[in-house]
């Protein structure tokens, strides 16, 4: 023991770090902050360190070359001992990191921790969030499969919409005129050197400020933050009702950190690594690329925005959101911290959570995309053809062959891009059906040039059979008057 102590003293005589470290870990924190709600920051740091370790391990095998990246990932998955597990840890670690960073941010926001004097801590936190998302996107590119390839195309298409500089930004981003080897190499540099380097620096500053300014006290309704008095009040609080961070509060952080690492490992073990999906070969076009889960909401948003709003929303939206987040501590740097007295803050969080959740949910089954194989894979259910005439059956065939099914479902099978047609005859009269098929409209292409008159007649005859039993199809009342085949109003069909 004495030997170890002597060695320790030898080092500390030179490093002079023992005293400041002791002061940092033993600094007093308000007792109530030793809470399970205060563990997300340290959990984010833990996952980040895990990502650094697994990332370095992956870099031992991974080849950042357009020609070989995909093959090297296959080798990691199948040939290298436990390569699949390290890949899975890194992939799941990234999912966990995005989730924990967001939870941490929500907690900090609801507890008013961004208010005076912790404005800069919040601002650095926003940059850390952006870098985390940057790591998530560039990491998806590292997987260099079909999703990564077309995902880059989507990124380039968005970047190209910047006025004037758009085309130049695209070439800078891709490292050339197309998505190719140079693109992967520069995303590798971003993912492995640039962003992690910045992250480490920003995390250090973020932590330093947490120690220097003290952890945010548990907010109490009615305890108002004022710039003139806050710091004195905080020091009084830590003096009166404080406890050293180590060992009073740290044990919860330690437990949660270990729990998160085990959770990542469990997900990695049970669910395995992400991809890679198909080869990054742009001549294979039978693919429907999809982003990883943290960008699914964006995928949904890009499908649902009206075309005219899309470019402004893409270019102005992020600027407004980021500026808003950065300005938040200056707009409400004082006042109530407790969520119990900040209904707008609580509602904002709920609104954002519900919006993102809904978009993410929608992106799970993409009702806006045509089902490319529905016309050949999903036959018209039998019950829609029972007791139909020859002409109507011919129409059902036209309906199938002309790929109407790709966008329209029948009996819950088929695309959801257009409305389901189970009861279309109740909504549209014969004339309206003909007009809709031939001219299109709404969001439907015009089929006039692609259907012969005979095909249109058959198709509409089939569509007219699509109404629930016992419910009469729509009909044009004026026909009763104008046409020769007058029927009494309200007569049965």
Partner 1 sequence: MPTSTFTPTKPAPKDKEVSSSNEISRRGFFTKLGILFNGLAAAVLAVPVVGFLASSITRGRGNGYLSWVPLGPVSNFPEGETRLATFRNPYVMPTDGKTVDTACWVRHIAGDQFQVFAINCAHLGCPVRWFQQSGLFMCPCHGGAYYRDGSRASGPPERGLFEYPNKVENGVVIIQAGELPTPGAVAFLAGEKPPCA
* The only residue of 25, 59, 168, 454 in contact with partner 1, by rule CB under 8 A: 168
Other Cβ atoms less than 10 A from the Cβ of 288: the count is: 12
Nearer to partner 1, 23 or 241 (CB): 23
Residue 380 found at the interface with partner 1 (CB under 8 A) = no
| Least distance from partner 1 to the Cβ atom of residue 335, Å | 32
Size of the site for partner 1 (CB under 8 A): 76
Nearer to partner 1, 455 or 464 (CB): 455
Distance CA 49, CA 53 (A): 6
* Segment 16 to 35, residues that bind partner 1, using CB under 8 A: 16, 19-20, 23-24
Distance CA 394, CA 462 (A): 8
Q: Which of 144, 118, 155 is nearest to 62 (CA)?
A: 144
CA geometry: angle 369, 370, 375, nearest 5 deg: 160
* Segment 394 to 433, residues that bind partner 1, using CB under 8 A: 401-404, 406, 417
Q: How many CA atoms lie within 13 A of 242 on its CB side?
A: 19
Name the 3-class secondary structure at 29. strand
| Least distance from partner 1 to the Cβ atom of residue 229, Å | 25
Distance CA 97, CA 128 (A): 11
* The only residue of 258, 316, 321, 446 in contact with partner 1, by rule CB under 8 A: 446
| Least distance from partner 1 to the Cβ atom of residue 490, Å | 38
Contact range with partner 1 by CB under 8 A, out of 128-136, 241-249, 333-341, 363-371: 363-371
* The only residue of 221, 445, 468, 483 in contact with partner 1, by rule CB under 8 A: 445
| Least distance from partner 1 to the Cβ atom of residue 173, Å | 9
- In this structure, what DSSP letter does residue 441 have? B
Distance CA 403, CA 374 (A): 8
Nearer to partner 1, 34 or 398 (CB): 398
Integer angstrom CA distances of residue 333 from 117, 329, 371? 8, 5, 50
Contact range with partner 1 by CB under 8 A, out of 34-42, 92-100, 229-237, 273-281: 273-281
* Segment 190 to 219, residues that bind partner 1, using CB under 8 A: 208
Integer angstrom CA distances of residue 309 from 180, 197, 386, 446, 485? 31, 36, 45, 24, 49
Distance CA 67, CA 119 (A): 46
Nearer to partner 1, 106 or 178 (CB): 178
β-partners of residue 224 are 336
Interacting residues of 303 by C-beta distance below 8 A, sequence separation 6+: 366, 368, 369
Per-residue tokens: 246: 């180590």
* The only residue of 74, 389, 450, 471 in contact with partner 1, by rule CB under 8 A: 450
* Segment 88 to 147, residues that bind partner 1, using CB under 8 A: none
Contact range with partner 1 by CB under 8 A, out of 3-11, 257-265, 367-375, 387-395: 367-375
* Segment 282 to 311, residues that bind partner 1, using CB under 8 A: 282-283, 285-289, 299, 302-303, 305, 307-308, 310-311
Residue 185 found at the interface with partner 1 (CB under 8 A) = yes
* Segment 37 to 96, residues that bind partner 1, using CB under 8 A: 65-68
| Least distance from partner 1 to the Cβ atom of residue 163, Å | 8
| Least distance from partner 1 to the Cβ atom of residue 319, Å | 17
| Least distance from partner 1 to the Cβ atom of residue 228, Å | 26
Distance CA 421, CA 466 (A): 7
* The only residue of 99, 133, 180, 224 in contact with partner 1, by rule CB under 8 A: 180
* The only residue of 57, 58, 129, 170 in contact with partner 1, by rule CB under 8 A: 170
Contact range with partner 1 by CB under 8 A, out of 38-46, 263-271, 329-337, 447-455: 447-455
Distance CA 387, CA 370 (A): 30
Name the 3-class secondary structure at 408. coil
| Least distance from partner 1 to the Cβ atom of residue 367, Å | 9
| Least distance from partner 1 to the Cβ atom of residue 152, Å | 9
Nearer to partner 1, 336 or 455 (CB): 455
Nearer to partner 1, 154 or 346 (CB): 154
* The only residue of 122, 149, 245, 384 in contact with partner 1, by rule CB under 8 A: 149
Per-position b or e across 29-45, b if 16+ CB within 10 A of its CB: bbbebbeeebbbbbbbb
* The only residue of 181, 244, 317, 381 in contact with partner 1, by rule CB under 8 A: 181
Strands (DSSP E) contained in 16-152 are 28-30
Please enumerate, as own/partner, the contacts of 355-359 that have beta carbons within 8 Å and a separation of 24 or more: 355/297, 356/297, 359/296, 359/297, 359/298, 359/300, 359/301, 359/304
Residue 452 found at the interface with partner 1 (CB under 8 A) = no
Residue 254 found at the interface with partner 1 (CB under 8 A) = no
């Amino acid at each position: 023991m004495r030997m170890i102590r002597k060695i320790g003293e030898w080092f500390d005589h030179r490093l002079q770090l023992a005293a400041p470290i002791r002061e940092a870990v033993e600094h007093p924190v308000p007792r109530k902050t030793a809470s399970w709600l205060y563990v997300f920051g340290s959990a984010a740091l833990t996952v980040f360190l895990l990502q650094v370790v697994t990332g370095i391990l992956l870099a031992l095998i991974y080849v950042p070359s357009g020609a070989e990246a995909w093959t090297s990932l296959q080798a990691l998955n199948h040939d290298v001992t436990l390569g699949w597990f390290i890949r899975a840890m890194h992939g799941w670690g990234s999912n966990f990191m995005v989730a924990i960073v967001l939870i941490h941010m929500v907690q900090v926001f609801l507890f008013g921790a961004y208010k005076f004097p912790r404005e800069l801590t919040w601002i650095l936190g926003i940059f850390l969030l952006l870098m985390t998302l940057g790591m998530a996107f560039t990491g998806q590119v590292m997987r260099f499969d079909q999703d990564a390839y077309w995902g880059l195309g989507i990124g380039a298409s968005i970047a190209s919409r910047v006025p004037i500089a758009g085309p130049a930004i695209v070439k800078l981003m891709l490292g050339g005129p197309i998505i190719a080897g140079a693109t992967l190499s520069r995303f590798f540099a971003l993912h492995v050197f640039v962003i992690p380097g910045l992250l480490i620096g920003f995390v250090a500053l973020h932590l330093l400020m947490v120690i220097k300014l003290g952890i945010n006290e548990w907010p109490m309704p009615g305890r108002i933050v004022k710039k003139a008095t806050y710091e004195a009040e905080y020091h009084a609080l830590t003096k009166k009702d404080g406890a050293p961070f180590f060992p009073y509060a740290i044990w919860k952080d330690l437990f949660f950190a270990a729990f998160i690492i085990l959770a990542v490992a469990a997900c990695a073990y049970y669910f395995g690594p992400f991809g890679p999906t198909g080869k990054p070969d742009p001549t294979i076009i039978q693919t429907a690329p999809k982003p990883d889960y943290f960008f699914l909401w964006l995928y949904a948003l890009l499908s649902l925005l009206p075309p005219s709003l899309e470019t402004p929303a893409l270019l102005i939206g992020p600027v407004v959101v980021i500026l808003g987040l950065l300005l938040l501590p200056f707009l409400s740097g004082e006042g109530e911290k407790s969520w119990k007295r900040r209904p707008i803050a609580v509602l904002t969080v709920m609104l954002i959570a519900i919006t993102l959740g809904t978009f993410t949910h929608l992106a799970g089954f993409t009702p806006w995309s045509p089902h490319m194989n529905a016309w050949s894979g999903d036959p018209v259910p039998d019950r829609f053809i029972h007791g139909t005439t020859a002409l109507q059956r011919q129409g059902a065939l036209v309906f199938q062959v002309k790929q109407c099914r790709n966008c329209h479902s029948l009996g819950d099978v088929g695309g959801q891009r257009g409305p389901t047609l189970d009861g279309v005859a109740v909504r549209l009269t014969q004339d309206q059906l003909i007009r809709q098929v031939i001219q299109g409209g709404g969001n439907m292409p015009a089929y006039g040039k692609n259907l012969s008159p005979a095909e249109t007649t058959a198709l509409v005859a089939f569509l007219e059979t699509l109404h629930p039993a016992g419910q009469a199809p729509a009909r044009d009342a004026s026909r009763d008057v104008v046409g020769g085949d007058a029927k009494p109003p309200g007569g049965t069909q």
